[in-house]
Structure 1
Amino acid sequence: MMLISYITSQTQLPQNSVENTVKLLNEDCTIPFISRYRKELTGNLDEVQIGEIVKFKEQFEALEKRRIAILKSLEEQEVLFEELRQKIEEARDLIALEDLYLPYKKKRKTKADTARENGLEPLAKIIMSQNATDVSSIALKYVKGEITSEEEALEGARHIIAEWINERTDIRNMLRNQLERFATISTKVVKKFEDDEKAQKFRDYFDWNEPLNRIPSHRLLAILRATSEGFIRQKIEIDDEKALYKIEERIIKSNDAASKQIKLAIEDSYKRLLFPALSNEALSAAKEKADESAINVFAKNLKQLLLGSPLGEKRVLAIDPGFRSGCKIVCLDAQGNLHHNETIFPHAPKNDTSTAMKKISSLADAHKIEAIAIGNGTASRETEQFVKRIQFKNAMQVFVVSEAGASIYSASKIARDEFPNYDVTVRGAVSIGRRLQDPLAELVKIDAKSIGVGQYQHDVDQSKLKSSLDTTVELCVNAVGVNINTASVPLLSYVSGIGPKLAENIVNYREENGAFNSREEIKNVPRLGGKAFEQAAGFLRIKNGENPLDDSSVHPESYAVVSKMAKDEGVKISELIGNKALLQKINLEKYISDKIGLPTLKDIIKELEKPGLDIREEAKVFTFNQNIKTINDLREGQLLPGIVNNITNFGAFVDIGIKESGLIHVSNLSDSFVKDVNKHVHLHQQIVVKVLDVDVERKRIQLKLHQLDTR
C-alpha cells in the first residue's frame, strides 16, 4: 500500500496536491510555510488540509512500522506463509494487522497452552470437525498424565477451541460491529461515596445509561474521570444472547454431543476472551474519539485566545488586584518593558484608598500611561470600581484582563530569566499588562494546557494534546507575524523553521549587534542556515528597515517580482506599497513564471495594499453590571453584559463579573439546532445574556444568549 493513495483515500484531496505536499514535508517545510508560500504546488491547500495530510502521513508511517515488525516476527517464528503475508500487506489499519498477528503473538501462558502441553489439541480438532458420534468415549482416550478424568479432557479441549474462536477475524469483526452499533455504557455510584462531598460534582452519573456511540465527549470523559477517582463503576454492555447466537451460527453445523461442547467453548470464549478484549477496545475507541473532540475544542479556544484583541504599543499601568496583600502595580512602556513597581492597599483591611488614588494618578502622569489593565482574579471588581473613581488628567481606558495561567508564567524559568530581581507578584502584574498590549506575545510563554480554555484537558491523550496545541500556537504566531527586534525567545521559537535554539541565537545576536536592519541580516545569526531562513523570513518583520518589504509578509524570494512591478509602473517600491488604485491595475498574468504563479501574485498584491495589517481586532473596553457583585444578587430574567471565557461542546461559559461563571447550554444559544458552539459565540466575545436559573447551593448559573453586545 502506497503512502499517497492512503492519504488521498482518507482525505479525498487531489493526488497531485498530496504528492507535492508530502514532498515539501519531507524537505522539512512547515505547515505555515507550505500553506502561505507554496500554493502553486499544493493546489492552494489551506493549513487545515495540510494538517490532515500530516496526520494521515504519520498514521501511515506508524502502520508501516508495525507491519514491518509483525512480518519480521512471523519470519523469525517460521510461520509466514504466502497467504498470511498477502493479508498482512493488504491490511489498511492497525486493528486488522493485530487480528492477523493475534494467533502468533507471544503472550503469557494460557489455559489453551496448558491443554496443548497435556496433548489435548487432537481432541479439540475432533470436536471441531463435528463428525464424532461418541465424544465421551473419545475423550477417555486422553485421560492420562495430568488429565485425570473425561471432564478434564473435554474442558482442556474447550479451552483450545475457545482460543481458536477468539482468534477468528470474522467473529471479532462481527462483535466489533455489535459493539459499535448497540453497546451501552452504564454507571452506578459506589455506595460509600453516595454522600461524599467530592463525589457530588459527578452526581449526574450515580445512575446513568446511554448508547456508547451517541455519548458526547464531555460526558464520557467525566464518567471516566469519576471511575478513575473511584466514585462510580462503569461497564459496557450489549445483548449477550444475540452475540452468542451470531457466533454459534458461524461455527455449529449439527446438534450432537460435539456441538454441545463447542457451544460451551463459545460461551467461555465470549465471556473470558472476546467480550472483555473487544469491549475495552470499543471503550478505547470511544475515548479516542472523545479525546479528539475535546482537543479540537481546546485548540479552537486557544486560537481565539491567542488571536485576542491587542491594545498595541501603548504605555500601560497593570494591576494585579488583592485584598489583604494589596494590589501590585507595574508601569510598562509601549514595548512592555518594566519601568516601575510598587504595592497599594485600597481595600480592606487597610482601606488606604486616598493614598492609593494619589499614587495611581501620579504614576499615570509620570509614565504617560495610556491604559490600565486589571487582572480578573480576587478583588478585580472592587479594584475596577476604585480605579474608575480616579480623576485622571487625560482620558484613560480601563480594561479587565484574564489572569488565566499568569501564576504559571510568574513562577516559570522564562519569567525568572526575564525578571531575575523581582518576585512572582511583580512578574504576574507585568504579564497582565503585556497581555493587554499583545495577548499572543505574552501567552506563548505559558504552557498552553495551563491557560484553562478547554474541557477535561488533563484526561485526554497528553501527547496528542501537546501536538495539537503546539501546532495551533505555531499557526497563530505565523498568521500574525513577529517583530524580530522586540520578540522574546518563546515567541520566536514558534516562528516557522526557527525553534527554541535558533530563537535564543537570534536574541543573543540582537543583544550583541543591535537591532536587525534587514531580513538579509538574519542570515548572520549563528546556525541559521538557508533552509531555516527560507521557512522563517516571510513571517519575521523588521520595522523601519532598509527595505520596506521587510515589514510585510512578502517573502524575500518574491522581492524581485515586486521590484519588476514597481519598475514597470515607473515608481519606487515604497510608492507602490499602499497604493491600492495602482496595484489593482497591474496585470498579474505578465509576472507568472515557472517559479511563481497566480495564487502567490494575488497574495503579494493583497499584502502590498495593506502591508503588515494585523489580522486581530482592536481591544475594546468592557463594563460589567456594577450592581451584581455575588451570585446572591442574581435573579431569573435579568439581562446582563458578559464576556465568553470558555467554550465546550455542551455550551459556553460566560463571565458576568462575579466569582462563578454562568453556562449558556448549547440549547440556549439559538432557537434552532446548534451543531458548533463556535459558530454562535467566540472566546472573549462581549455579549448580553439572560439569567434562566440560579442554583446557589451548587453555584451553578444557567444563562441564555440574548444578543451580541455591540456597544
Structure 2
Amino acid sequence: MKLLVSYIISNTNLPEQSVKNTVDLLNEDCTIPFISRYRKERTGNLDEVQIGDIVKFKEQFEALEKRKKAILKALEEQEVLTTELKQKIESTQDLTTLEDLYLPYKKSRKTKAEKARLNGLEPLAKIIMSQNANDVESIAFKYVKGEVASVEDALEGARHIIAEWINERADIRNNIRRQLERFAIISTKAVKTKAKDEDAQKFRDYFDWEESLSRIPSHRLLAILRAEKEGFIRVKVEIDHDRAFDNIERRIIKSNNACAEEIQLAIKDAYKRLLLPSLSNEAMQIAKDKADEAAITVFAKNLKQLLLGSPLGEKRVLAIDPGFRSGCKLVCLDAQGQLKYNETIYPHPPKSDSIGAMKKISSLCDAYKIEAIAIGNGTASRETEALVRKVHFKNDMQVFVVSEAGASIYSASKIAREEFPDYDVTVRGSVSIGRRLQDPLAELVKIDAKSIGVGQYQHDVDQSKLQKQLDVVVENCVNSVGVNINSASKSLLSYVSGIGPKLAENIFNYRNENGVFKSRAAIKKVPRLGGKAFEQGAAFLRIKDAENPLDDSAVHPESYAVVAKIAKDLKTSIKDLIGNKALLQTINLKNYCTETVGLLTLEDIVKELEKPGLDIREQAKVFAFNQNIKTINDLHEGQLLPGIVNNITNFGCFVDVGIKESGLIHVSNLSDSFVKDVNEHVSLHQQIIVKVLEVDVPRKRIQLKLHK
C-alpha cells in the first residue's frame, strides 16, 4: 500500500492522506461519482478528474507489479536471478527500464548471436571486446571449425555477439532514446503504385512530408499512420546516424587497433539491425500513445458536451426522419417519449405531395397536442424544415433540427429491437430523433459512443483506452444529472453508480412487474441489489412525487437523519424547508458536524435543499439557419451566417451552416490571440455566427472564421 501511494503521489502531487483514503475507497468498490460527491471529507474534496488520475496510476502501478512478478519468476526458472538484479527489478518505477533489465535474458533461440554462441564464438567476442589483441585474424583462425568455414565467418559471428551486447546496454539504449526524443524526424513518401487512387487523394498532403516527431500535432500523426495503414505512403523515423555512432563508440572503443575496427563494424550492425528499428518503433509508439491520448481527450470533452446538451424536457414531440424517394417518417411521442403514432409522408421529389404532407403534419399536431417538432439533420433536412415552417399551426410550435448521428446504429441495435419489436428500423430511428430532443442524455447512452460522430480519428486510437475513457464520461454525466428510476431505460440505469447492466435489468423488470417505486427504500427490494449497490447508487436515483421529498434530490439517504434534525431544530417540516433559501441560510452548519458528516457534505446538502433536483443542463433553444443557403454553391467569401458547432478537434472546430458539408474554423481563426484550447472559445452545439473565408467547391471544403 505504501509503495502504491508513493507511486501515485509522484505522478499526481496530490496530498498523501487524500490519496490513501481514495485508494481505500476504490478497494471497497466505490465508484468515482460516489467518492467525489459523497466522500469529500475522506478525499479532501478531490474532484472527479483527480480521482480519475488516482485510478489511472493505481492501475499502472498494479500492471507494473504484475510484470515484475512475471519477470522475477522467469529469471528464477532460468537460474540467473542475482540479489543485485532482484533489487534493481523491485525498485524500478517504469516499464521501459524494467524491460531493459530483462532484455539480456529474453533471448530468442533464432538470433544471429545465439547461433554464433552455439558455434563456440563467444570467447572470441570477449577477446575482441577486451581490445588487447593486435592480430585478431590469427586468433580468429583458431575458431575455424564445424559450421565456421573461414576467419571471416568467425569474426562475423563474434561481431553478432558483440552487437547483441551493445543492444542490451541500458546506457546506450537510453542515449539513443534521448536522441530520438529530441531530434527524431518523421518522413513520408508516397507509394507510387497507389498514389493516384481516388481514396489516396485525401492524404496527398503527406505524399512527401517531413517533420519533427516531438512537435507533430496529434491529428497529423494519426492521419499519417492511417495513410500508412491503408498502403498509400511509407513512413520512416530517423535521427543523425553519425552522431549516434559517435556516441556509442565513445562509450565502448578504448583502443586504436584491429579489435577497435571489429567493434566499429559491430556498432554499425547493432545500430542499424537492432537498436534503431527497436527504439524508433518505441519512439513512434510513444508518439502514437500521446496522439491517442490527445484525440481521446478531445473525444471525451465533445462527448460530455453532447451528453449534457440542452433537453427540451417532458414535452409532446412530433419527430421527422427526412428523406426524398423513401419519404419522411413521422412519429408522435408523448411527454415521456412513448410512441403513439407513426406514418410516412412524401413531400419531396419524386412524389412531391407537399400539400398532403403539410395537412398531415398539421392534423397530427392537433390530434396529439404536439408542443415541438424535431427534424433529423440528414438527407432532405433543409427541405423538410422549410416545409414545416410553412404549416399554419393552431398554437405556437417550436421547430428543432436534431443531429441524426448514430440514430441508424441505434435503430438496428438489440436495445431498439427490445423497445420496439413490432416496428422497423425507420420508425425506431425517428423515435430516437424525437427522444434526443426531449432528453439527449437518456437517448444517447443507448448508442456506442464511437458512433455518435464527435471527435477525431476515433477509429485509429487504442480502442480499449478510448472505450474506457468514454465509459467514464458517460457514467459521470449520468450521475451528475441524476436518473428518474421510474422512467429510465435499462441503458440509462446501467450507468448509475454501483448499478451496472445486470442490476439495471433487475430494476427494469421489477418496475414492470410491481409498478413504480414509491420510495428510495423500496429500491432495496430489487433482487440482488444489496447494501453496497444501494449505498453507491441510491442518491443518483430520483423518485418523483415521493412521500419523502428528499427522495427526489441529490441528498444521500445516509444524510436524511441530519436533514430531519435541521428541520426539527428550525421547527419546520422537511417539505417546507426545501426551497426556503432564507431559512436555510440561517443554519449554523458547525452544529451538525459529526465524525462522518463534515462541513463539505453539509454545504452540499444545503445547496441541494435550496434547489432540489435542479437539472444542471440548459433548456433547448430554437435555432434557424439562413434559409437562402441550400448548397455549398450558395456560399461566397465574406458572408456572415448562423451556424452550430457540430465537432471540436485540436486543430479547430467544424460548424454546420445548414448544408451537407460542415465548414472548418481553424484554430488560427477562432481568435486574434493565441488559442491554447479550442474548448475555451466554443462548445459543442453552441449557436454562433461565422464569416465565410474561402469556399473550395471541387474539394468540398469551407474555411470559416468565428465572428465576435
**What TM-score, normalized to structure 2?**
0.99
Q: What's the counterpart of residue 668 of structure 2? A: 667
Q: Does 1:313 align with 2:319?
A: no
Q: Does 1:226 align with 2:227?
A: yes
Q: In structure 2, what is the Cα distance between the partners aligned to 1:90 and 1:248?
A: 30
Q: In structure 2, what is the Cα distance between the partners aligned to 1:413 and 1:89?
A: 48
Q: What's the counterpart of residue 562 of structure 2? A: 561
Residue 121 (structure 1) shift? 0.4
Q: What's the counterpart of residue 622 of structure 1? A: 623
With 378-387 and 194-203 compared, the bigger mean Cα shift is at: 194-203
**Code of the aligned partner of 1:665:** H
Residue 133 (structure 1) shift? 2.2
Q: What's the counterpart of residue 19 of structure 1? A: 20
Q: Matches of residues 32-47 of structure 1 in structure 2 within 5 Å?
A: 32-47=33-48
> 1:377-421: per-residue Cα shift (whole Å, max 9, x none)?
000000001000000000000000000000000000000000000
Q: What's the counterpart of residue 334 of structure 2? A: 333
Q: What's the counterpart of residue 235 of structure 1? A: 236
Q: Matches of residues 649-668 of structure 1 in structure 2 within 5 Å?
A: 649-668=650-669
**Code of the aligned partner of 2:685:** H
Q: What's the counterpart of residue 159 of structure 1? A: 160
**Code of the aligned partner of 1:28:** D
Q: What's the counterpart of residue 90 of structure 1? A: 91
Q: In structure 2, what is the Cα distance between the partners aligned to 1:115 and 1:384?
A: 77
**Code of the aligned partner of 2:37:** R
**Code of the aligned partner of 2:42:** L
Q: Matches of residues 116-265 of structure 1 in structure 2 within 5 Å?
A: 116-265=117-266
Q: In structure 2, what is the Cα distance between the partners aligned to 1:108 and 1:195?
A: 44
Q: Does 1:572 align with 2:573?
A: yes
Q: What's the counterpart of residue 473 of structure 1? A: 474
Residue 147 (structure 1) shift? 1.1
Q: What's the counterpart of residue 696 of structure 2? A: 695
Q: Matches of residues 675-686 of structure 1 in structure 2 within 5 Å?
A: 675-686=676-687
**Code of the aligned partner of 1:124:** A
With 271-280 and 184-193 compared, the bigger mean Cα shift is at: 184-193
Matched position secondary structure for 1:373: strand
Change (3 A) 1:551 1:626: same
Q: What's the counterpart of residue 358 of structure 2? A: 357
Q: In structure 2, what is the Cα distance between the partners aligned to 1:575 and 1:636?
A: 60
Q: In structure 2, what is the Cα distance between the partners aligned to 1:664 and 1:521?
A: 52
Q: What's the counterpart of residue 601 of structure 1? A: 602
Q: What's the counterpart of residue 533 of structure 1? A: 534
Q: In structure 2, what is the Cα distance between the partners aligned to 1:387 and 1:139?
A: 92
Q: Matches of residues 261-410 of structure 1 in structure 2 within 5 Å?
A: 261-410=262-411
Residue 108 (structure 1) shift? 4.1
**Code of the aligned partner of 1:318:** A
Matched position secondary structure for 2:405: coil
**Code of the aligned partner of 1:54:** V
Residue 145 (structure 1) shift? 1.4
Q: In structure 2, what is the Cα distance between the partners aligned to 1:690 and 1:376?
A: 22
Q: Does 1:100 align with 2:101?
A: yes
Q: In structure 2, what is the Cα distance between the partners aligned to 1:619 and 1:107?
A: 62
Q: In structure 1, what is the Cα distance between the partners aligned to 2:586 and 2:164?
A: 76
Residue 194 (structure 1) shift? 2.6
**Code of the aligned partner of 1:537:** A
**Code of the aligned partner of 2:613:** G
Residue 351 (structure 1) shift? 1.1
Residue 137 (structure 1) shift? 1.1
Q: What's the counterpart of residue 642 of structure 1? A: 643
**Code of the aligned partner of 1:3:** L
Q: What's the counterpart of residue 56 of structure 1? A: 57
Q: In structure 1, what is the Cα distance between the partners aligned to 2:646 and 2:422?
A: 33
Q: In structure 2, what is the Cα distance between the partners aligned to 1:196 and 1:652?
A: 28
Q: In structure 1, what is the Cα distance between the partners aligned to 2:160 and 2:647?
A: 54
Q: In structure 1, what is the Cα distance between the partners aligned to 2:428 and 2:323?
A: 15
> 1:135-169: per-residue Cα shift (whole Å, max 9, x none)?
12111111111112111111110000000000000
With 29-38 and 84-93 compared, the bigger mean Cα shift is at: 84-93
CA RMSD of aligned residues (A): 0.6
**Code of the aligned partner of 1:374:** I
Percent identity of equivalent pairs: 79
Residue 512 (structure 1) shift? 0.8
Q: In structure 1, what is the Cα distance between the partners aligned to 2:674 and 2:96?
A: 36
Matched position secondary structure for 1:624: coil
Matched position secondary structure for 1:193: coil
Matched position secondary structure for 1:491: helix
Matched position secondary structure for 2:390: coil
Q: In structure 2, what is the Cα distance between the partners aligned to 1:68 and 1:173?
A: 24
With 577-586 and 185-194 compared, the bigger mean Cα shift is at: 185-194
> 1:6-48: per-residue Cα shift (whole Å, max 9, x none)?
0000000001000000000000000000000000000000000
Q: What's the counterpart of residue 490 of structure 2? A: 489
Residue 319 (structure 1) shift? 0.4
Q: What stretches of structure 1 move > 3 A for 4+ residues in a row?
A: none
Q: In structure 2, what is the Cα distance between the partners aligned to 1:71 and 1:250?
A: 29
Residue 615 (structure 1) shift? 0.3
Consecutive unaligned residues in structure 1, runs of 5 or more: none
Matched position secondary structure for 1:445: coil
Q: In structure 1, what is the Cα distance between the partners aligned to 2:109 and 2:664?
A: 50
Residue 115 (structure 1) shift? 0.7
Q: In structure 2, what is the Cα distance between the partners aligned to 1:323 and 1:136?
A: 84
Residue 425 (structure 1) shift? 0.4
Matched position secondary structure for 2:214: helix
Residue 195 (structure 1) shift? 2.2
Q: Does 1:440 align with 2:441?
A: yes
Q: In structure 2, what is the Cα distance between the partners aligned to 1:108 and 1:315?
A: 71
Q: In structure 2, what is the Cα distance between the partners aligned to 1:657 and 1:306?
A: 22
Q: Matches of residues 511-526 of structure 1 in structure 2 within 5 Å?
A: 511-526=512-527
Q: What's the counterpart of residue 452 of structure 1? A: 453
Q: Does 1:68 align with 2:73?
A: no
**What TM-score, normalized to structure 1?**
0.99
Residue 238 (structure 1) shift? 0.3
Q: In structure 2, what is the Cα distance between the partners aligned to 1:133 and 1:655?
A: 76
**Code of the aligned partner of 2:160:** H
> 1:566-621: per-residue Cα shift (whole Å, max 9, x none)?
00000000010000001011000000000100110000000000000000011000
Q: In structure 2, what is the Cα distance between the partners aligned to 1:525 and 1:163?
A: 63
Consecutive unaligned residues in structure 2, runs of 5 or more: none
With 134-143 and 684-693 compared, the bigger mean Cα shift is at: 134-143
**Code of the aligned partner of 1:144:** K
Q: In structure 2, what is the Cα distance between the partners aligned to 1:354 and 1:695?
A: 37
Q: In structure 1, what is the Cα distance between the partners aligned to 2:115 and 2:51?
A: 52
Q: What's the counterpart of residue 548 of structure 1? A: 549
**Code of the aligned partner of 2:597:** I
Matched position secondary structure for 1:279: helix
Matched position secondary structure for 1:372: strand
Q: In structure 1, what is the Cα distance between the partners aligned to 2:175 and 2:91?
A: 20
Q: In structure 1, what is the Cα distance between the partners aligned to 2:134 and 2:417?
A: 83
Q: In structure 1, what is the Cα distance between the partners aligned to 2:69 and 2:155?
A: 39
> 1:31-76: per-residue Cα shift (whole Å, max 9, x none)?
0000000000000000000000000000000000000000000011
Q: What's the counterpart of residue 611 of structure 1? A: 612
**Code of the aligned partner of 1:165:** I
Q: In structure 1, what is the Cα distance between the partners aligned to 2:666 and 2:16?
A: 42
